[in-house]
Amino acid sequence: MGPGDAGDPAVNDVDVIRVHGQARLAGTVHVVGAKNSALKLMAAALLAPGRSVITNVPRITDIAIMGEVLRRLGCGVRFTADDPVDPMVAHGGVERSRSVVIDVPECPGAEADYDLVRRLRASICVLGPLLARRGYVRVAHPGGDAIGSRGLDMHIAGLARMGAEISGEHGFVIAEAPHGLHGAEIVLDFPSVGATENLVMAAVLARGTTTIDNAAREPEIVDICTMLNRMGARIEGAGSSTLHIVGVPALHPVRHATVGDRIVAGTWAFAAAMTRGDVTVTGVEPAFLEVALDKLVSAGGLVETRGNAFRVRMDDRPAAVDVVTLPFPGFATDLLPMAIGLAAVSAGASLITENIFDGRFMFANEMMRLGADIRTDGHHALVCGRDRLSGAPVRATDIRAGAGLIIAGLCADGITEVSHVHHVDRGYPDFVADLRALGVTVERGTVPEEPALEI
Ligand code: EPU
């Protein structure tokens, strides 16, 4: 387990989800706000003193940790009932989303310690806003995690171009700009989501104009830019590769609704296809998943889109399709475990190529325990589809691998027990209830962690 993970529970029990195989998913599932947007929107609130409210925030562990990060920076953070969702899609009264009320002081703290950054790698996104507000910030270096090494060089180089002095000391990144940041022309080596977000949050309060070329184009980037513009920022080009940001002296607090979670929506889309089911997903713009949904059509699925919803139906065994992950609008790396799961039960061989994280295939060994035929070589995996997988105990190594193993278990003979599902809780609000609502027989429980052997 790496420093980006939420951490195993202190007790010697681990959480498990047991799914009964040969399932067929059918019904409607509603997707709430995106984890990877809400976390950054909460950080963006730091840019304006006063009360900001972010709605449609998913009820997941990572959001609770981000709340704690903000509290330790001196903010008041309260989670309240969310705006009501359409009763047609509410699940038996279970709240999947919350609103978060953030009271930001005039002078927030400037340090995020290792304990918090270890539990939530995304807490590095306070770097940009705190540097902009305070002129000084000290954040523990997040290191890598279970999907591979995850650098900070583009965050650091971009902030340096804006006039920050950056140093490293005792595992911390320290950024200083005592006379404030200034606008700069920045070209990213790669359209990094995190670097784009940190640099935008720094640039909105900098003196002069910042241009970010080769910026990330993910819907979550558009979401944060929309919120910042509503706070008084002047950002143009969100959703394109070039962002122009004219710095302003101050921002004001805002109320903002988080964009729907395309990765959770994509997980259900793949689960529907793999189980030859029929699932309608509401709460997310289907265009965010265009490439993924096209893959399901190539695999033989029927996909209908309407407004903020789509339906995936698969009547026969899926046909093998090749998948290449790329920054948005390409196929999302966070859906890679689902693409491998689909390939594992499809007719034929699929070549799956991962271009974003070097360790993303680490979970393939767990998928092989279910009988999947996977050979990996560098950033490629050749997957030969099998008629049926075979239920087994497996271990979740990160959020998406965990979700991928659970939905692969739905296609297996017998029972699949996925352990360490606290990873899944980091990204999927009440996954078990959604599975049940779609017709799956599933239980959640705990099993004892294997004791360490003495020598
Ligand atoms: N990279 C560098 N240097 C940098 C920044 C990034 O080398 O300065 C590399 C990374 O090591 C990685 C690649 O660039 O190999 C992409 O990193 P990026 O910065 O785009 O990703 P991130 O911001 O760390 C976010 C999501 C991930 C998602 C990726 C890609 C959050 C909290 N995380 O990570 O989500 O996979 O973008 O879309 O927004 C997840 O939700 O399970 C998850 C891992």
Question: pLDDT tens-digit profile of 93-141?
Answer: 568 899 999 999 999 999 998 888 888 989 999 999 999 999 999 999 8
- Closest among 259, 343, 335 to 291, alpha carbons compared: 335
The answer to whether the beta carbons of residues 129 and 44 sit under 8 Å apart is: yes
pLDDT of residue 449: 83
Taking the CA of residue 122 as reference, the ligand 1 atom at the shortest distance is 32
How many angstroms is it from 22 CA to the middle of ligand 1? Answer: 34
pLDDT of residue 231: 98
Residue 352: both structure tokens together = 């799956």
pLDDT of residue 288: 98
**Which of 36, 156, 241 best tests ligand 1's pocket when mutated (most atoms within 8 Å of CB)?**
36
**454 band by pLDDT with thresholds 50, 70 and 90:** confident
**Ligand 1 pocket, residue 399 CB under 6 Å:** yes
**Ligand 1 pocket, residue 60 CB under 6 Å:** no
CA-closest residue to ligand 1 atom 13? 356
Write the pLDDT tens digit of every residue in 11-51: 579 999 999 999 999 999 999 999 999 999 999 999 999 99
Q: What are the catalytic residues?
A: 145
**Ligand 1 pocket, residue 223 CB under 6 Å:** no
**Residue 150: pLDDT over 80:** no
- More confident call, 265 vs 149: 265
How many angstroms is it from 360 CA to the middle of ligand 1? Answer: 12
- Dist. CA 428–CA 65, nearest whole Å: 15
CA-closest residue to ligand 1 atom 29? 193
- The predicted model gives 423-451 an average pLDDT of 94
**142 band by pLDDT with thresholds 50, 70 and 90:** confident
**88 band by pLDDT with thresholds 50, 70 and 90:** very low
The answer to whether the beta carbons of residues 138 and 110 sit under 8 Å apart is: yes
The answer to whether the beta carbons of residues 42 and 102 sit under 8 Å apart is: yes
Write the pLDDT tens digit of every residue in 160-179: 999 999 999 888 999 999 99
The answer to whether the beta carbons of residues 220 and 37 sit under 8 Å apart is: yes
Write the pLDDT tens digit of every residue in 191-246: 999 999 999 999 999 999 999 999 999 999 999 999 999 999 999 999 999 999 99
Torsion angle defined by CA atoms of residues 99, 123, 145 and 404, in that order, rounded to the nearest 10 degrees: 10
Instruction: Give the list of residues 6+ apart from residue 195 with CB closer than 8 angstroms, or none.
Output: 154, 155, 158, 188, 216
- The predicted model gives 134-150 an average pLDDT of 83
pLDDT of residue 94: 61
pLDDT of residue 41: 98
- More confident call, 12 vs 438: 438
How many angstroms is it from 192 CA to the middle of ligand 1? Answer: 6
**Ligand 1 pocket, residue 400 CB under 6 Å:** yes
Write the pLDDT tens digit of every residue in 329-379: 999 999 999 999 999 999 999 999 999 999 999 999 999 999 999 999 999
- The predicted model gives 259-274 an average pLDDT of 98
pLDDT of residue 84: 65
Residue keyed to tokens 């591979």: 148
- Closest among 277, 319, 268, 280 to 297, alpha carbons compared: 319
**Ligand 1 pocket, residue 192 CB under 6 Å:** yes
Domains along the sequence of the chain with CATH? 13-31+261-448 (3.65.10.10), 35-257 (3.65.10.10)
The answer to whether the beta carbons of residues 28 and 267 sit under 8 Å apart is: no
CA dist list (Å): 65 to 111, 112, 119, 120, 355: 15, 12, 7, 7, 29
pLDDT of residue 113: 84
pLDDT of residue 90: 47
**Ligand 1 pocket, residue 190 CB under 6 Å:** yes
pLDDT of residue 56: 97
How many angstroms is it from 193 CA to the middle of ligand 1? Answer: 6
pLDDT of residue 1: 36
How many angstroms is it from 307 CA to the middle of ligand 1? Answer: 29
pLDDT of residue 85: 56
Q: Which residues are annotated as a binding site for phosphoenolpyruvate?
A: 35-36
Instruction: Quote the mean pLDDT of the chain.
Output: 93
